[in-house]
Amino acid sequence: MYRIGMTTIGQSPRDDLVPDIQRAFSVPVEILQCGTLDGLDAANIQRFGPDDREVGIVARLQDGSSVLISHAKIMPRMQAAVDEMIARGAEFVVILCGADWSAIRCDRPVVNPGLLYPAIITALARGRRLGIIKPSAGQVEQEQERYAKLGILATVVSASPYTGDSRLAAAATAARYLREQQVDLVWMTCVGMDEPMRVVVEEIVGCPVILARTLLARVVDALLPSQSGVAAGGWTPSGTGPT
């Protein structure tokens, strides 16, 4: 069966996320998983925390909780995770995180949401009032600056997807603020944010809401071979470096 690898900045398997993505595929595939924090206890995970004044990225652990980790510190382990996916037979690798992973090197395609998401969202948001929901309050200012450099003045708020049922209340609070700001397009940036959160936001704001995991799933599906291609053993993508 055709294989793709999925790497997470937290711990695998991502049972909260990968089944959702897989259901969106038009053909059956085998998904291999690996996490940069796999096999680490709490003390070792702390070593990858962000330094002072560094904006961390949110990583989900196996127990459903989350931690902030340093993008720079975790990069070597992400490279190792990508290498492992290729060694296990993945035709290409999908990184399940919206940070930029351009430093990753691989002789198969790597889907890099850190480049993919801004390109698509900027194209859709041009001339619109964009609302953005991040998973951590500490990421709000950086995200505003990121999109301002792309020519988009965005209103950015936060709502963590890793708080159990409380995530829906957090999504509602964020949505009410975005409604006050009269945004007409909402971008929910974290792959941990799910469809129930999206529905809450859509009902309150009353405008299109784009969910990171859904967008990623549809892009990856476009990279998969057809049903006949899968039956014939698929095809081998070419190219080097992240997509």
Residues 197 and 222 in one domain: no
**Which secondary-structure segment (H or E) carries 211?**
strand 209-211
Question: Over the stretch 126-170, which tens digit does the pLDDT of each residue have?
Answer: 999 999 999 999 999 999 999 999 999 899 999 999 999 999 999
Whose CA is closest to 4, among 23, 32, 24, 25? 32
Q: How far is CA 104 from the centre of its chain?
A: 16
Question: Over the stretch 188-202, which tens digit does the pLDDT of each residue have?
Answer: 999 999 999 999 999
Residues 15 and 133 in one domain: no
pTM for the structure as a whole: 0.91
* % of the chain exceeding 70 in pLDDT: 93
Q: Can you name the residues that pair with 68 across neighbouring β-strands?
A: 58
Question: Is residue 51 one of the residues assigned to a domain?
Answer: yes
pLDDT band at residue 243 under the 50/70/90 scheme = low
Q: Structurally, how many domains does the chain consist of?
A: 2
Question: Over the stretch 226-242, which tens digit does the pLDDT of each residue have?
Answer: 875 555 555 555 554 55
- How many other C-beta atoms can be found within 10 angstroms of the C-beta atom of residue 90? 23
- CATH number of the domain residue 193 falls in: 3.40.50.12500
Question: Is residue 236 one of the residues assigned to a domain?
Answer: no
- CATH number of the domain residue 29 falls in: 3.40.50
**Which secondary-structure segment (H or E) carries 148?**
helix 140-149
Question: What integer pLDDT is reported at residue 204 of this predicted model?
Answer: 98
- The boundaries of the domain holding residue 68 are 3-114+215-231
